Amino acid sequence: MKCIVLLTLVTGALAPVAAQTKSIRAINPAPMEVTLAYSADRSNAAGGAGGDFWMQGAKAEANMSFGRGLSLVAELGGTHVSNVNTAGASLSMMTYLFGPRYSARRWRRWTPFAQFLAGGVHGFDAYFPNSTGQSINPDAFAFAAGGGVNVNISRHFALRAVQADYMQTQLPNAGSNREDHLRVATGIVFRFPK
């Protein structure tokens, strides 16, 4: 709940900034962007038992533009929860994802985007049961699909107003070995124009 309130406040605070934005070259994007963001992750408990829980963390991404709105994204993120559903168990995850992004650069103040990323997840600080007992620090496949909106401040900066992704991880959990996540993020984008 705190995450939703925080994202609502940040998004509401961006409206006056967007209204003051001067002319920005939206047609010629920066060839390289780096984003630093706060990330909240709504995840399901192992095997669907015990309900859902929120994980919090951060992520960094590098975005290299190839023109016509297409770019390649590399993302590294980390999230943690210290008390899963008041059971006293903790969980930490690092994700490393890569893939294409399409950005609709038709507006000077806003840049919506959609992306599909695939890669891996590393789980730690938790118990991961598998067929042979347990795995302390497993690595598994992960993918994410979603999009967001950047508020263009200048040629060098933008605010990531909101980003939302569906992410699936396949960490061992003594069940389906599949976890579904809703990721939301907000942050700052640093641009490196030519």
**Helix residue ranges, H only, the chain:** 2-20
Distance separating alpha carbons of residues 72 and 39, to the nearest angstrom: 20
**Which whole number is the average pLDDT over 72-81?**
96
Beta-carbon neighbour count of residue 142 at 10 Å? 23
Cα separation, 114 vs 149, in Å, equals 9
pLDDT digits (tens, 9 = 90+) for 124-172: 888 777 777 666 788 999 999 999 999 999 999 999 999 999 999 998 8
Residue 12 has pLDDT above 60, yes or no: no
| Per-domain residue ranges of the chain | 2-192
pLDDT digits (tens, 9 = 90+) for 43-65: 986 654 557 889 999 999 999 99
Q: What CATH number belongs to 2-192?
A: 2.40.160.20
| Token digits of residue 107 | 């507006």
Q: How far apart are CA 150 and CA 10, in angstroms?
A: 12
How much is the pTM? 0.81
